[in-house]
Structure formats: C-alpha cells, structure tokens
Amino acid sequence: MTADDTGPADAADDAELIAAIRRRLSDRGSLWINQRYSHQGEPAQREYFLKPARRGDIEGAALNGAVSNGAALNGALLNDAVLNDTILLGYDDWLDRHEDAVDLYLDYRRLRFDTLAQALAYTFAQLPLRPEELRAAARRR
C-alpha cells in the first residue's frame, strides 16, 4: 500500500502525513484547503484549516481549566508561544450566495484538539476530506 492509498481510518496514524503537516505548520503557521463544488445545483465552497494554537487564538478563553492569563496549560506558559501540541481546526461549508452570512452556512466548525493525530482522526471521520488532499496542501508552496 502506498501513502496515497492509505484509507481514512489509517491516515490519522500515518507518520509521513503527520510529519508533512507538522513541517507545514512549523514553516507556514497553518494548512488551508479551499474547495469549490456544486451543492444541489448551486455553487458552493468549503474551507478547512489546521493551525497550532497560540495565546492570541484563545485569549480569555478557558482551556482544560486554565485561563490564558499567563497560567500554565499542560506545562506550557501562554505567552504567544505555541501551546504544546494543541491544534485548532476550522471547517466552513457554504453556498456562494451565503458567503458573508455565517448563520446560513451549511456547516461551521471551530474545534481544538490536544494532538495533530486527534485532529486528523476527526477530519477523516467527520469531514469530506481525504488524506491525499491534506498531503497536497502540505506540499503546496
């Protein structure tokens, strides 16, 4: 089985995929995928992102019982550093005619995961994305 043949269930544990995405996050700060498609005959778009959580992403929000006011979270201080392996995942799905109306989106998700592997497991189980799409996004310049 080649890396591109990896099924979604196996992809979250795919060391090469995880390493490629980690490099992308380290080098570029995020991984984005934008897709245009047709939903029931209407033009639509999907947008997906992964990025490491930073203090500014969660300012004032409670995470695992800690508040981002300089308190420790899983052993890391929250002062504009990456919060250990915490990964933010975003997914939006909308009809073009509703692009600026988030309350009318087909889907809108903002999630936090303790590890990249957990974020990928969720992605492949819950979202219409395939491992090869993430591999391609990780390679993009």
Per-residue tens of pLDDT for the chain, all 141 residues: 334 444 555 666 789 999 999 999 999 999 999 999 999 999 999 999 999 997 555 443 434 433 333 333 444 434 444 456 799 999 999 999 999 999 999 999 999 999 999 999 999 999 999 999 999 999 998
65 within domain boundaries:
no
CA distance 60 to 132: 36
The domain containing residue 9 runs over which residues? 3-59+85-139
CA distance 42 to 106: 12
Confidence at residue 56, expressed as pLDDT on a 0 to 100 scale: 55
119 within domain boundaries:
yes
36 within domain boundaries:
yes
Confidence at residue 70, expressed as pLDDT on a 0 to 100 scale: 38
75 within domain boundaries:
no
30 within domain boundaries:
yes
Number of domains the chain contains: 1
64 within domain boundaries:
no
Q: At what angle do helices 131-139 and 116-126 cross, to 10 degrees?
A: 130
Q: What does the block give as tokens for 92? A: 């939006």
pTM of the complete model: 0.73
Confidence at residue 85, expressed as pLDDT on a 0 to 100 scale: 76
